[in-house]
Each structure stands twice: as structure tokens, then as C-alpha cells.
A and B are shown apart, each in its own frame.
Chain A
Amino acid sequence: AQRVTQPEKLLSVFKGAPVELKCNYSYSGSPELFWYVQYSRQRLQLLLRHISRESIKGFTADLNKGETSFHLKKPFAQEEDSAMYYCALMCPGGYNKLIFGAGTRLAVHP
């Protein structure tokens, strides 16, 4: 069964520190992976997707098929990065539904 695991419920760092939000998935095929973010009082929105290989707001994520991971990284955290982050998996052919992890709350302190 497809599954997304985010092992940390809360990640607390100081401004300027590096950040890594972990995401592991289980899927036998070639998945599409995403990171979604929800800032306080805002709707859930796409942060980045692995196929784009882009950096958004300083965040990057690399798909590691060997370790079945898609960790989100940022070298220097900012206070405005504080939010709820969800890793999500889309299985091609499965009506394109997204399967989400439990989420990690990132708190960046001044």
C-alpha cells in the first residue's frame, strides 16, 4: 500500500539554522512527490514538486529512490518559514489522488 511517513511532528530551530524535514514513502512504481505548506490562517498550497527540480523560497527537495525519501531542505531558516509542511505522493494511474503524510510543524525562533 502507498504510504507517506513524516517522522517528526515538530521541528524547532533558530533563525539562520539549516532545516531538514524528513519524508519517506512506500510505493513500488515511479511516484510523483510534492511538498505542500500551510501558513497560519492560510490555505494549503504547493511548495514544490520533484519533477520540477526547482528551489522555492530557498527550499529544495531531492527524490532518492534508493532510500525512498524526499526530504525538504533549506540552508538558512527564516521566521516566515514557520508553518505546517506536508509531504505528498501521487501514484500515476490512480486517478491522480494525493496521499499525504501526517505533517511536520516547523517553528523558527528569532
Chain B
Amino acid sequence: DVKVTQSSRYLVKRTGEKVFLECVQDMDHENMFWYRQDPGLGLRLIYFSYDVKMKEKGDIPEGYSVSREKKERFSLILESASTNQTSMYLCASKLGSSGNTIYFGEGSWLTVV
């Protein structure tokens, strides 16, 4: 069974802090994704990665960066957290070929105060 693990389920950070959200998958998937989930807006893609050290901007990359140093790990970084980044963040992974299922983590609730 595929496992996508987000290490932090609930975080509270102050405005201006640097925030790291970690995601690990155990199925050797090439593709990994970071989404944010907001009521009324659904899931919006922040960044994705199709290989180690490779990254592509999604629809809302501003204020975020990512790191993929190892295949199993994809980190989302908020360089200077702001209150409008308070949200649920979902990590996902997928095997390379089109049509394969995307597996999601349980999510990380981030509150920026």
C-alpha cells in the first residue's frame, strides 16, 4: 500500500518565519506535488517535481519554494510566512506514466499568526 507521509500535521508559525513542510513517499514515485486546499477554491497546485532536483511551478508558486534532493522526499518551503498562507497543504505522489493514481498525504494544517 502506497504511503505518503507528511511529518507535521498541525503547525502554528509567526509572520515572517521560515517554514518547512516535509513529505516522504515510499513507492519510488517519480512525480511529487504540493497543493494547498482552501474552502471554495479546491486544490491549487503550488509546485511539482518529476525527478530528483527537478521542479516546476504550479498555478500559485508565489511565496513558496521546493526542494527535492532525494527521490522519496519533497519539501515545501515558505521563505517568509504570511497570514494569507494559512491553509491546509497536501502532498501527493504518482508513478510516472499518465493515468496512474495520485496518492495524497493526510495534509498539514498551517496557521500563520
Contact = CB atoms under 8 A, between A and B. Distances in A.
Interface string A81-99: 0000010001011011111
Interface stretch (B12-20, B61-69, B76-84, B101-109): B101-109
B99 A51 contact: yes
Sort chain A's interface into a size bin: 20 to 34
Given A95-B31, A96-B94, A97-B33, A102 B40 contact: yes
Nearest to A102: B42
Contact of B104 (A4, A9, A44, A96): A44
B49 to A, nearest CB: 9
B11 to A, nearest CB: 18
Contacts of A95: 31, 48, 50, 56
Given A90-B98, A95-B48, A43 B42 contact: no
A79 B90 CA distance: 26
B45 interface: yes
A25 interface: no
B104 A32 contact: no
Given A95-B31, A97-B33, A46 B101 contact: yes
Interface of B: 31, 33, 35, 40-45, 48, 50, 56, 58, 90, 92, 94, 96-102, 104-107
